[in-house]
Chain A
């Protein structure tokens, strides 16, 4: 049974392995240079006390550079691979056998079909998990200097939090959870839809939908966010808006190094969200007078955030959720295929 599974999967496995080797080599070579680059940039900075500034410069220089592109490709690949595994490995696993009628061959040998499916899912699923894990390991290692620089640079605008949605799902162990879920999702849709192309399309749509919705509406609530209330720092105002109906909105950035900032709200001294009215200085005078007038309003910034120290807790919780759903889906497929008789 193992032999048949491997024999059917061999060609895809070789192509995947080839692609992975290429990616790993590119990331390994460029990653070593990238790390050297970073260490050279901040070398001896303690003496001059310029570490924060140099690290910020390193991060700013990343934008538009070759390293920046490699980093983005690594992130994109790590995000894409679990979905692709669901679409190209999970969905066709059963549907191809149904469409070609070969399941009638496989299921009438002396092997129970639940075992047939379990072996297929086990072998190919493990390859999927291992591939995603390897890719994520490489991406995490490659991006390490960016996080180091971000920690050193403190409140720099270019600092990247590991919890930020753009990178969180491409590092650590969550890609393994995504790969398990993507593969199980493709398998399940294949078992229910029974046609390869519609199953692949549906898998892609559902997986992409979940990847879109998850960091926006679900991940922020996996742990209760922290709130901090600080006086509004007028020197860090990043948005000041006056609308014709007589409202004024103002927010100032609050430095939370390493944190994932979910919301930043400005409240008045009573505690209500600040909506104006606009000060005369802001309506009629220059920026400095306006800022001074805002200071006199005694506004406060309320920041809702997930601190960077929760990174591994988030990784663990999210991986566990996706793995658990994947296991549930596989169990469903085993039960469905064993009970429901396809013909």
Chain B
């Protein structure tokens, strides 16, 4: 199995502020990876490091086996849709496509034109006059028609209305399937990513709290409820992510690869959102040392 993005002890500081700390991350190729975390968690920093807009303070990052932005060839293999989907306000859509064609050897002009006409956009329109959703689609078109192997998107739907959000994500998924893209997409809203991602990275307080295959994560995490217990006396194979107790009952989020056989616990499936929220709230209490989780390799 090949790795699209690999970071080791990746750290970025702005002056004294730590934006990303000791990030150990491995994103497998061929996945749609969601990067989730609250605002200010370091998502943009991580993605900018991945496309070479930033250089690490320490540690290393490799994207498709090379240092980001180290050569035109490496740049050609990675597409990027930046936060707020910037575009040259005074250039038209057609100008942007020409820009893409002139600056990328692998540019797929047919694909770009088809996407623009499918979106019912007028190529003569200036990018400055587009709505947020249309501009996001233009940015996505630039990213896709470049024909990268790996497409990285920084909060592309954050400022869009629900309909534009859905259309954007549908377009992204269609392209990912057609072109066999690896995708890394960030959002501060789990709901945006729940439908599209099969790999999940949770970033909080500039640290990676959780990373792994979505199905694997969901099948190894269980929400247990049962009579009140002492968490110290639970089976050692259980890793308690969060626990809440009432006088008579305990509710636990437990990570365990083994099925729960103890009949005194009632077992419930967990949603991706619950999982993310549990890790996020857990983070401030006790950052898990077990951050890079090997899940179903």
Residues of B within 8 A of A105 (CB): 82, 86-88, 139, 142
Count of A-B contacts judged by CB separation below 8 Å: 86
B66, CB-defined interface residue at 8 Å? no
Total count of chain B residues near the partner, CB < 8 A: 38
B99 touches A109 (CB 8 A): yes
Contact A341 B82 (CB under 8 A): no
User: Contact partner of A110 among B44, B72, B90, CB < 8 A?
Assistant: B72
Given A7-B91, A105-B86, are A110 and B75 also a contact pair (CB < 8 Å)? yes
**Complex: chain A residue closest to B89, CB-CB:** A100
Chain B positions 61-100 with a Cβ under 8 Å from a chain A Cβ: 69, 71-73, 75-76, 78-80, 82-84, 86-91, 95, 98-100
A82 CA to B142 CA in the complex, in Å? 37
Q: Is B16 an interface residue (CB 8 A)?
A: no
Select the residue from B52, B99, B105 with max chain A CB neighbours within 10 A.
Answer: B99
Q: How far is the CA of A102 from the CA of B128 in the complex (A)?
A: 12
Q: Does A1 contact B (CB under 8 A)?
A: yes
| B195 contact set on A, CB distance < 8 A | none
Task: Determine the chain A residues whose CB is within 8 A of the CB of B88 once the complex forms.
Answer: 8, 100, 102, 105
- Residue among A1, A102, A104 making CB contact with B102, cutoff 8 Å: A1
B100/A7 in contact, CB under 8 A: no
Q: How far is the CB of B157 from chain A (nearest CB, A)?
A: 17
**CB pair B99 A343 closer than 8 Å:** no
User: In the assembled complex, how far is the CB of residue A10 from the closest CB belonging to chain B, in whole angstroms?
Assistant: 10
CA distance A113 to B75 in the complex (A): 10
B103:A111 contact, CB within 8 angstroms: yes
Asked if A108 contacts B72 (CB within 8 A), the reply is no
From A3, A104, A113, B86 is in contact (CB under 8 Å) with: A104
A-B contacts, 16 listed (Cβ < 8 Å): A100-B88, A101-B84, A102-B86, A102-B87, A104-B53, A104-B80, A108-B78, A109-B100, A109-B104, A109-B146, A110-B73, A110-B146, A111-B75, A341-B48, A341-B52, A343-B48
Chain B contact residues, CB within 8 Å of chain A: 44-45, 48, 51-55, 69, 71-73, 75-76, 78-80, 82-84, 86-91, 95, 98-100, 102-106, 139, 142, 146
7 closest A-B pairs by CB: A101-B86, A109-B103, A110-B76, A104-B82, A108-B80, A341-B55, A341-B54
B99 touching A3, Cβ below 8 Å: yes
Chain B hits for A104, CB < 8 A: 53, 80, 82, 86
- List A contacts of B71 (CB < 8 A): 112
Q: Please indicate the chain B residues that have their CB under 8 angstroms from the CB of A212 in the complex.
A: none
- A7→B44 CA distance, assembly (Å): 30
CB distance from A196 to the nearest CB of B (A): 14
